[in-house]
Copies of this chain bind each other. A is one copy, B any other.
Amino acid sequence: MDFSPSSKAREHVDRVGSFIEREIAPVEGDYLRELLALPAEDRWRVLPVIDELKAKARAAGLWNLFLPDHSGLSNVDYAPVAELMGRSFIASEVFNCNAPDSGNMEVLHQYGSDEQKQRYLRPLLDGEIRSAFCMTEPDIASSDATTMAATAVVDGDEVVVNGSKWFSTGIGHPRCEVILFMGLTYPDGERYRRHSIVAVPRHAPGVTVERMLPVMGRHDEPYGHGQVRFDNVRLPVSAFVAGPGRGFEIGQNRLGPGRIHHCMRLIGLAEAALEAACRRGVERIAFGKPLVNLGGNRERIAEARMAIDQARLLVLHAAWLLDTQGILGALSPVSQIKAVVPAMAQNVIDMAMQMHGGAGLSDDFPLAGAWTVARALRLADGPDEVHRGVVARLELGKYGMTR
């Protein structure tokens, strides 16, 4: 049970940390202000500073670190790097490690055909295009994948894609060029062989972004979360990723590292919120005392510290299991972190907002935005309740309970 990052990883942690400190932190606030100052409809663009930062990061070799075959970093190694990136709203993009592109790159790297790698993976790895993942549907409870209505039907040498998807993150990005679409291919097939993933060009005929969905009132430009209609989108069967019926398998493999990444970024976000709460609580005076010395504020600081530290260790443990035993040895831990970390981050950030008074709800501090990220992740990729259900099922399985 060794959670220490390798020496190579430690070096990356140091370099990523100082890159963020030197290059990103000084400009991030201005970037966000500049973006938000634009009329809402004009925010779907890449401001020049982002491309400049990406170029610098790539030149520094701090690029695609999430991909083990590229970076040589295990999940345990990458975890502290992801935590650092999570402290910033733009760092993941700057280092080309942002969701959903990172997960999509993993899928294409592991399962993509040469053509798919050439057409999509290469420019994604180069940070030239962006991508989306279309899974969740508006009319069903998407946590139960068996109810999925979208279809990817084989018709001769074509695949025909139909359905309505939403909360498709990244679909609003001006450079979004490819969609990984999950749909039903074999309705009567074996339970875990029914679905397929299809690589759909963003601008293929029949693909319509019907609207961009706000999350807690925000659109998260320039990525965004869209509702997308697929109307008889016809593609050659070579558009299947790994062939028809492999959707579940691919999804399963995508989830483990993805959850580690999400959770470590949230740990970083929670750490940043705790730091903000401490700073505010030490500096701001009321009733003649620093805020932290009023009421239960110190105990809340301590609770936050203890919650973060426990959550981080839980994620590192899950990462270590994933590295050493694969996803099947980490099923419970990977659901545990998904149930624990977003809720923990939401609570810590809520505490930090409260410590800031009204300012904490404004955009003068990054707390309100951070809260929305954490809140959304209590639903994205399965609600807390479903993950607790998985943890319980695996626990009760030890005592002979089969479902």
Residue A247 is within 8 A (CB to CB) of chain B in the complex: no
**Roughly how many angstroms separate A386 CA and B336 CA in the complex, as a whole number?**
27
A143 touches B360 (CB 8 A): no
Residue A27 is within 8 A (CB to CB) of chain B in the complex: no
The stretch that binds B, out of A45-53, A190-198, A373-381, is A373-381
Residue A204 is within 8 A (CB to CB) of chain B in the complex: no
B368 touches A299 (CB 8 A): no
With beta carbons under 8 angstroms apart, the residue of B361, B384, B389 that contacts A298 is B389
**Roughly how many angstroms separate A311 CA and B375 CA in the complex, as a whole number?**
24
As a 0/1 sequence over residues 379 to 400 of chain A, the CB contacts with chain B under 8 angstroms (1 = contact) are: 1100111111111110110111
A141, A300, A316, A360: residue with the most chain B Cβ atoms closer than 10 Å: A141
Q: Say what secondary structure dominates the interface of chain A.
A: helix
* Copies held by the complex: 4
| A206-249 interface with B by 8 A CB criterion | 213-218
The stretch that binds B, out of A1-9, A12-20, A124-132, is A1-9
As a 0/1 sequence over residues 306 to 346 of chain A, the CB contacts with chain B under 8 angstroms (1 = contact) are: 10011101101100000000000000110010011000000
With beta carbons under 8 angstroms apart, the residue of B41, B166, B218, B371 that contacts A39 is B41
A216 touches B295 (CB 8 A): no
CB distance from A235 to the nearest CB of B (A): 27
A368 touches B399 (CB 8 A): no
A215 touches B361 (CB 8 A): yes
**Roughly how many angstroms separate A295 CA and B3 CA in the complex, as a whole number?**
33
Residue A291 is within 8 A (CB to CB) of chain B in the complex: yes
CB-based nearest B residue for A346: B350
The stretch that binds B, out of A56-64, A85-93, A178-186, A274-282, is A274-282
Residue A136 is within 8 A (CB to CB) of chain B in the complex: yes
Q: What are the residues of chain B within 8 A of A364 when measuring CB–CB? A: 213
CB distance from A9 to the nearest CB of B (A): 12
Q: What are the residues of chain B within 8 A of A41 when measuring CB–CB? A: 39
A368 touches B310 (CB 8 A): no
A147 touches B285 (CB 8 A): yes
CB-based nearest B residue for A285: B141
**Roughly how many angstroms separate A297 CA and B380 CA in the complex, as a whole number?**
18
**Roughly how many angstroms separate A384 CA and B296 CA in the complex, as a whole number?**
11
CB-based nearest B residue for A166: B358
With beta carbons under 8 angstroms apart, the residue of B295, B387, B393 that contacts A389 is B295
**Roughly how many angstroms separate A378 CA and B350 CA in the complex, as a whole number?**
11
Q: What are the residues of chain B within 8 A of A156 when measuring CB–CB? A: none
CB distance from A30 to the nearest CB of B (A): 16
CB distance from A354 to the nearest CB of B (A): 6
CB distance from A164 to the nearest CB of B (A): 13
Q: What are the residues of chain B within 8 A of A306 when measuring CB–CB? A: 314, 336, 339-340, 388, 391
Q: What are the residues of chain B within 8 A of A40 when measuring CB–CB? A: 39-40
With beta carbons under 8 angstroms apart, the residue of B285, B299, B398 that contacts A392 is B299
Can you show 22 pairs from A to B with CB atoms below 8 A apart? A40-B40, A142-B358, A213-B362, A215-B361, A216-B372, A217-B372, A282-B396, A282-B399, A290-B401, A295-B385, A296-B298, A296-B300, A298-B388, A301-B396, A302-B392, A305-B395, A313-B313, A354-B384, A354-B385, A358-B380, A361-B376, A361-B379
